[in-house]
Structure 1
């Protein structure tokens, strides 16, 4: 797991992209933002306190190493407050954000990259398209949204030969299964958007996923911390922790012991709470570990994953 470093900075510019979507330009207070490749994201601290909630946002830039980076954020009424807090900021506001991480990189083995986006899930593909244009790589984008007036980047993308737009208000629908059926053996698929879209991609792309050619990004756990009760043994501490139904392992440890577990996102995408799994089988619900890493059953993300057995033993 790469180490997350926090940077102090400011919001140097804010641009309205749609009625509920704004683009934020972030500038580190000192130096340049680190290098990164397209598909990267950063963590942003929602508030000024060190223990403020942390959200992840895709970087719109194809690469880093410059004085500024950009994210686009949709205001979500049912969010944890991050989007509302960001939308209330003004240029010059002080913020804290992390160095980049990349769980959604372009695959070098792909002959062609096929992007499937829904709504605000368009953000990582803005960077990917720019990266492909710069490198001469082959790619195409399929972007579905409810209405052109409320979606971001529609005008920018319209008319590009490698882009197909699907406006729900005009009765246009993206048939994910039909699209995946057209793929060649060296094509890779990348999907980001609402859960319904991701479910369709995973249902139609089971063979692609088995072959390592389907890549999903979602900044939320696949399933909330729901399920039956189980127990966890903290091997180094000699403690037994009871994890209640609908409680995360992380919350149970913090509730019942003084054992310190580092955590940031609490939604399974940053990797901060990764812990060695010594025995037992986990039900992995994170976005951080690859399929192969999850199948190895030797580590677990405590914030979202649960037990697929009666008892887990952790290296804590």
Structure 2
């Protein structure tokens, strides 16, 4: 798998609890371009340490640098160890390893309008959406709520669009959100990013107002704390392996302990790297990567977070 070696060219700690990194190629080589809404998966700490995904906020066309903003752990679903390392140990001149940009949150090009709704650090993917919308003349509108003194990219957003509404009071935000969701032209697509509870609230409000699921798009920080689940049996016919995945142990961990080399990065159900094919049994999908249609198909699962809904699973490895 391709790995980029990047240098920390600059650090901005202007906003309390949010550290913004500017990353350049260690050899000053060109960086891969990316679509709006893309994220960078950064290996935090030593090699093979935790890998966290962070939204890219810069210009995606022939970028000279990648810019990401990291919220200190404690108010998001992000893995704490990665956040602490970036906030407390990383310095200008240090190098980091990252996977090339990837996106599951790109703008729908056929959309008549793009309605962007963000909370807190969820503003980060919206910045790249706004940059692209301005470049290509697309109609994009933003609603953003943040805590007082914790508004990231506020000046940048205002420089990119005249259609940004920024709030610090929940009541005012909710009132404008309801109005906006009820009064959009046919063909508008909705994009939501923020804490899981915020995404659920916005999605529920949109659904109640008649928005079809096909026009609602999410960018999650990661799967939150999950219950340990029930034990289940796994069979791998190709190797004749059969074993039990205990409660509190992920399928990925169980497979790795038995010598199976399963590609993985985030280990939080976001990146899609640990997808394994399933040839038998029912699945409890707990990831944030597979589409609803892929989950209904029942022929693959994310080994890091998903579990069996039946007593056993058969994997085609």
TM-score (normalizing by structure 2): 0.90
| 1:185 CA displacement | 3.0
Task: State how 1:193-232 maps to structure 2 within 5 Å.
Answer: 193-206=194-207, 211-221=213-223, 224=226, 226-232=228-234
SS in 2 for 1:81: helix
For residues 315 and 212 of structure 2, what CA distance do their matches in structure 1 show?
A: 28
What runs of 5+ residues in structure 1 fail to find an aligned partner? none
**In the alignment, which residue of structure 1 is the partner of 2:291?**
290
Counterpart Cα distance in 1 of 2:305 and 2:186: 34
- Give me the CA root mean square deviation: 2.1
For residues 222 and 292 of structure 1, the distance between their equivalents in structure 2, rounded to whole angstroms, comes to 22
Structure 2 vs 1, CA of residues 100 and 270 (structure 1 numbering), >3 Å: closer, same or farther?
same
Q: SS of the counterpart of 1:180?
A: helix
Task: Determine if contact 2:120/2:150 at 8 Å carries over to the other structure.
Answer: no
1:212-253: CA deviation from partner (whole Å, max 9, x where unpaired)? 111111121156253222222122121122122232111222
Q: Does 1:150 align with 2:147?
A: no
Structure 1 stretch 306-315 or stretch 34-43: which is displaced more? 306-315
Distance 1:226 1:206 in 2: 30
**Length, aligned pairs only:** 309
Are the equivalent residues in 1 in contact too, given 2:167–2:173 (CA < 8 A)? yes
SS of the residue corresponding to residue 174 of structure 1 reads: helix
Residues 82-91 or 38-47, more deviating: 82-91
Which stretch shows the higher mean deviation, 58-67 or 130-139?
Answer: 58-67
Alignment match, 2:38: 40
For 2:268 and 2:227, the matched residues in 1 are separated by: 10
SS state at 1:38 partner: coil
1:233 — aligned with what?
235
SS across alignment from 1:99: strand
Per-residue CA deviation, residues 239-295 of structure 1 (Å, 9 max, x unaligned), is 12212223211122234x222222111011111111111112212122222222222
Q: Which among 64, 67, 73 is matched to residue 67 of structure 1?
A: 64
| Secondary structure of the structure 1 residue equivalent to 2:13 | strand
Tell me the CA shift for residue 40 of structure 1: 0.5
Deviations 1:34-67 (A, max 9, x none): 11111000110111x3211111000002314232
What is the CA distance between 1:83 and its match in structure 2? 1.7
In the aligned structure 2, how far is the partner of 1:110 from the partner of 1:100? Answer: 23
| Structure-1-length-normalised TM-score | 0.90
Q: Secondary structure at the match of 2:143?
A: strand
Aligned counterpart, 1:86: 86
C-alpha distance in structure 2 between counterparts of 1:177 and 1:135, whole Å: 28
Structure 2, unmatched stretches of 5+, are none
Tell me, in whole angstroms, the C-alpha distance in 2 between the residues paired with 1:209 and 1:56. Answer: 29
Whether contact under 8 Å (1:278, 1:298) holds in the other structure is yes
Q: Deviations over 1:87-146 (max 9, x none)?
A: 232211111111110110001121101111000000000110111011100011110112
